[in-house]
Amino acid sequence: MKMTFLQRVERNVIGRVLNASDARVNRMTEPRWEVDGQPLDRRAQYMFRVGRIAERSMPSLTPAAARRYYARLNRVLEASPPDIGSVSELRLELRSGQRPARAYYPDTTHENDGKLPALLYIHGGGFTIGSIETHDTLCRRICAAAQCVVVSVDYRLAPEDPFPAAVEDCDDAYRWVMAHADELGIRVGHIAVGGDSAGGNLAAVVSVLARDRGGPLPFAQLLIYPGTGTAEHPGRTKADLQTGYGLDAKTTRWFFDNYVRDADGKDPLAAPLYLDTHAGLPPAIVVTAQFDLLCAEGVEYADKLRAAGVPVVHQHVPDLPHGFATISVLPRARQAIDNFATALKQAFRQGS
C-alpha cells in the first residue's frame, strides 16, 4: 500500500531523525545549509533533509485540510512536555460568543500574595491554522520555565472569519483574563501577552489596543518570530529562504490573503510595523530566527519599539528556522524556548 505524505514524514522523523546518532547527523549535513554565512543547526538540517517535512505546500490545501495536516505534523515534531502543576479548561465570554481556552499552572508555591503572574498565549498558524491543541506542548514548556500561569486562547480563524475577528477575540480574551484574574489565581498587573508568528502579531496588536484606550497595559509582550508587516515586506522575498525551511513567500501570501482584504493590508491592527507611533507600548521580548522569512520584520519591529523608548530584549536565534517553538524534538529548539521563557520569568521577578 502506498504511504501518504504524512505517513512518510512520521516514518522519517520518528524512525530516522530522532534516533540518528550525532555521527550520522554530522555526516549527512555536509555541506552545511547557510543564510548570510550562518549555518543551520545540524539536527534541524537533518530533519528537513531526511524527514522531508517542508515538501507539502499549504496553499495547495483547503484551509480545513491544512488544519488537519498541521495538527498531525505537530504531533510528530513535539517532544514530551515537562510536568506542570495542573491544567484547567475554560470558556471565555467574548463579543463573538463563547471561546475555549486552557489555563496551565506551574508546579510551584504561589507568590507571597497568593497569586502568580500570567501570560495570555496566542497561537501561531498564519491566522488560518493552529489551535490550543497544536500549541499545548509549547504552553506547558513556557509555564514550567517561566513559572507563570499560561492562558491559551482559541480565537476565530480565517478565511471563515477574516480580520479583524482574531484581533477582537484576542483583545477580548486579554480583558477577560484581567477581569477574572482573582478567580484564576493571577496577580493583577502582572499579565503579559505573547504568541508565535501570527500569534506574535496578535499579541502586539492587543498591546496597541490596550495603549490606545488608556490601559491597563499588558505587563510585557512576548513576540516569538512575529509577522508584523504585510506579504509585500521585502524580507519575505529573500531568495535563500524560499525553499527548504517550511515557510516560503507563497505560503505567507496565502495566509495573509486569507486574513485581510486588500484595503486592510496596511491597517496597523493587521500589520503593527506600520503604526504611526510605537511609543507607550509595554516592554517587549522579541525573538527572531535566522532561517525565517519573517526575521527582518521582527528585527525591524524590535528596532522601532526601542527607538520609541520601549524597553526591548531581543533574542536572535541564529541557527533555527521559523516555527522552532513547536519543533521541540530538536534539542536546540528546546534550549531556545527555555531562553525566552526564562527572560519572561526574569521580567516578572524584576517587576514584582
Q: Which of 295, 247, 226 is nearest to 53 (CA)?
A: 247
Instruction: Let me know: does 25 contact 46? Beta carbons within 8 Å.
Output: yes
Q: Let me know if 113 is exposed, middle or buried by CB neighbors in 10 A (0-12, 13-18, 19+).
A: exposed
CB neighbours of residue 106 within 10 Å? 23
Active site residue 196: no
Set 131, 152, 197, 207: catalytic member: 197
How many Cα atoms occupy the beta-carbon half-sphere of 101 within 13 Å? 28
CB neighbours of residue 1 within 10 Å? 4
* H-assigned helices in 163-294: 165-179, 181-184, 198-212, 249-259
Cα dihedral sign for 132, 122, 130, 19?
negative
Set 123, 135, 233, 322: catalytic member: 322
Angle between helix axes 136-146 and 331-350 (nearest 10 degrees) is 50
Instruction: Let me know: does 305 contact 275? Beta carbons within 8 Å.
Output: no
SS3 86: strand
Write phi, then psi, for 107 (nearest 5 degrees). Answer: -85, 80
The residue whose grid cell reads 527572531 is: 288
Active site residue 21: no
Output the DSSP codes for 183-200.
HHTEEEEEEEEEEETHHH
Q: How far apart are CA 286 and CA 224, in angstroms?
A: 6
Active site residue 197: yes
Q: How far apart are CA 29 and CA 45, in angstroms?
A: 7
Write phi, then psi, for 322 (nearest 5 degrees). Answer: -55, 140
State the pairing for strand pair 34-35/149-153.
unpaired
SS percent in the chain: helix, strand, coil, step 5:
45, 20, 40
Set 154, 292, 319, 328: catalytic member: 292
Instruction: Give the catalytic positions in this structure.
Output: 197, 292, 322
